[in-house]
Chain A
Amino acid sequence: MAIGVKVMKRPTQQTSYLRATLKGMALTFSHLLRPKVTMQYPEEKSSKDWTLSSRWRGTHRMLTDEQGRAKCVACGLCPQICPANCIKLVPGEDEAGHRYPLIYEIDEFRCIFCGYCQEVCPEEAIHVGVHYENSEYSRDRFVYDLERLTAQTHPVSTLWDPSDPKGE
C-alpha cells in the first residue's frame, strides 16, 4: 500500500463485494421498471417537470403597433447599449416627423443574448424571444432584418420573474 494512505476500517457489511453486487443488481433492476425521464424532443417540447423559462433569452422579435408597423422609433439606445455591437440601425423620418428605422438588422451570430436591448428600449419594441429553434441552411440567414424581426410570432421574454421582479 502506498505510503501514508489512510484506509478506513469498515464493518463487513460495507466491504462485502457479494452484498454490494446483489444490492446493485436489485437497484438496477428496480430502475428498469421505473418511469423514464426522457422527453422525446421533436414531438414533446415541454413536460410537466420541465418547460422553457419565461425568462429565456432567445432570438429577437420586434413588436408592432395596430397598423402593423414596427414600434421602433429609431432612438438608437439599443445599438448604444449592445455589448456585442450586433445591432445595425439607420434612422429615418417621415413627412409627419415620425422617426422610424430605415435599416434595422441584428446579427444573431454576434448577439450574446444579454437582453439589454429589450431592457433599454423605451417603446417596448425590440424583445428577446422565448425560442431556440434557429437552424438555417446558410450563414447569411442569421442576420435578421426588420421584416423578419416583425414577422416572428414566438412569445417574448419577461427578462425577470414576474412573481419576484427584484430578484430576491
Chain B
Amino acid sequence: MTFFIVASAIKVFVVFNLILVGVALLTLLERRVCAWMQDRLGPNRVGPQGILQPAADGLKNFLKEETSPAMADKALFTLAPLVSFVPALLTFGVIPFASPLPTPWGVVPMVVADLPIGFLYILAISSLGVYGIVLAGWASNNKYALLGGLRASAQMISYEIALGMSTVAVLLLAGNVTLSRVIAQQQHAHAWFIVPLTLSFVIFFVSALAETNRLPFDLPEAEAELIAGYHTEYSSMKFSMFYIAEYSNMVTASALMATLFFGGWDIPFTSWDSTGDPSVAKTVLTLIAFGLKTFVFLFTFIWVRWTLPRFRYDQLMALGWKVLLPLVLLYITVLAVAIWFLRMQLDWDYGPAMAYTLGGLNLILLVALVWWLDRGRIISGSVAEEAA
C-alpha cells in the first residue's frame, strides 16, 4: 500500500511537470513551426534555438499587471481559469505512456491511474473544460467575451458527440474502455486500430481539433471577430492558465489518438516490448515511441492551424451536426454489423485477419466518403443556387 502511494505520488509529480514542460516547449514549437511555414525563423534568441523563450514568456506573464474589470463577477472571474486549467491536466492521468517499470520494490505500471473506466473518464473530465471557458466569457461582463463563451459551449458540446461516438467504434472492437487493455489488444494482434477503424480516426481527429478550439475551429477566440474571445479580459497568469489549458488539451488529445488508434506505447513490428519481463530499457524505448507518436499529432495540429482559415459559424455547426454526427452513426452501424458478422458468424477473434478485413471495409467507406465530400456540396463557401 505504501509502495502504491509513494509510486503514485512520484508518477503524479513527474507527469504533471512533464506536461507543463511539454506545454511550454509546445508553445515554442508552435511559434517556430509557424515561422518556418511563413519562411521566417521565429523566436531563436533566448537560449540556443530559442529553447528558453517559454521561460522568458512565463516570467513575463508573472510580472504582468493583473487586471480585473470593474463590472466583472469577481468570484467566477477568478474561478474560470482554474476550472479550465485543472481538467486539462487531469485528463492525462489515465493514459498509459510506457511499458511497466521494474523497481526493487515491485513493478510500476507507467500510467498515473489505470482506471477501469478509461476513456469514459477522459470524456467526462474533458467536457468539464467547457465550463471554464463559458464561465470566463460570462464573468468578464464583456460582450465579446460572452460571445466567445457562447460559441465555445455550442461548439464543444456539438463536437463532443461526434468525438464520443467515434470512440464507440473502438469500444466495439476492444470490448473494453480501460486504455491499458485497449493498448494490449492492439499489441497482441499486431494491428493498430487505425487499420480497422480508419474512418473513426478521421472523425476523431476532426472532432479533436474542434474540442481543443484549434484552427480551423477556433471560433471561441476568433481574434478577427471577438478580440480574443472568452479570455479578452484576462491578463497575467490567469491568461497564462487558459493558454496552458489549451495546449495541455492538445497534448491529451494527441496522446489519446496515439493510444486509441496507434497502439499507445507499442513499438511497431516487434513483440519484444510487450512480452517477457519488464525492463528499464523497454520502459525507456516505449516511452520514446509514445512520445514520437504524440509528437506527430501535435505537429499535425500545428500544421493544420497554420494552413487552414477559420470556419464560419454556420459552417461549423453544419459540419458537426449534418456531416460528422450522421456519418459517425452510420459508420458505427456498419461497423457493428461487420464485427457481429465476423465474431459471431465466422467466430473470429481480433487479430491481423480481422483487422485487415475491417480495414478493407474502411477503405471502401473512406473512398465513398471522400467522393461524396469532393462533390463540393459540404463546405464549399456560400454557393447560391444558380438564378433561374
Contact = CB atoms under 8 A, between A and B. Distances in A.
Q: Which of under 10, 10 to 19, 20 to 34, or 35 or more describes the interface residues of A?
A: 20 to 34
Contacts of A19: 374
Contact of A18 (B37, B303, B374, B382): B374
Contacts of A9: 386
Contacts of A24: 307-308
Contact of B373 (A5, A18, A32, A40): A18
A158 to B, nearest CB: 32
Interface of A is mostly: helix
Contacts of A7: 382-384, 386
A100 B370 CA distance: 84
A15 interface: yes
A36 interface: yes
B39 A31 contact: yes
A16 B373 CA distance: 8
Interface string B298-323: 00000110111000000000000000
Contact of B41 (A1, A5, A40): A40
A25 B304 contact: yes
B39 A18 contact: no
Interface in A1-49: 1, 5, 7, 9, 12, 15-19, 21, 24-25, 27-29, 31-32, 34-38, 40
B40 A1 contact: no
B39 A12 contact: no
A18 B307 contact: no
B376 A15 contact: yes
B39 A25 contact: no
Contacts of B345: none
Contacts of B378: 17
Nearest to A23: B307
B37 A28 contact: yes
Contacts of B384: 1, 5, 7
B370 A18 contact: yes
B379 A17 contact: yes
B38 interface: yes
Contacts of B35: 36, 38
A12 B374 contact: yes
Contacts of B115: none
B385 to A, nearest CB: 8
Given A21-B308, A25-B303, A28-B307, A37 B39 contact: yes
A38 B383 CA distance: 40
A24 B306 CA distance: 10
Contacts of A38: 35, 39-41
Nearest to A7: B384
Contact of B39 (A1, A16, A36): A36
Contacts of B361: none
Given A18-B373, A32-B36, A25 B307 contact: yes
B363 interface: no
A40 B41 CA distance: 9
B86 interface: no
Given A16-B376, A31-B36, A37-B40, 6 more contacts: A12-B375, A21-B308, A24-B307, A28-B306, A28-B307, A31-B39
26 contacts: A1-B382, A7-B382, A7-B383, A12-B375, A12-B376, A15-B376, A15-B381, A15-B383, A16-B374, A16-B376, A16-B380, A17-B373, A17-B376, A17-B378, A18-B370, A18-B374, A21-B307, A28-B306, A28-B307, A31-B37, A31-B39, A32-B33, A32-B36, A37-B39, A37-B40, A38-B41
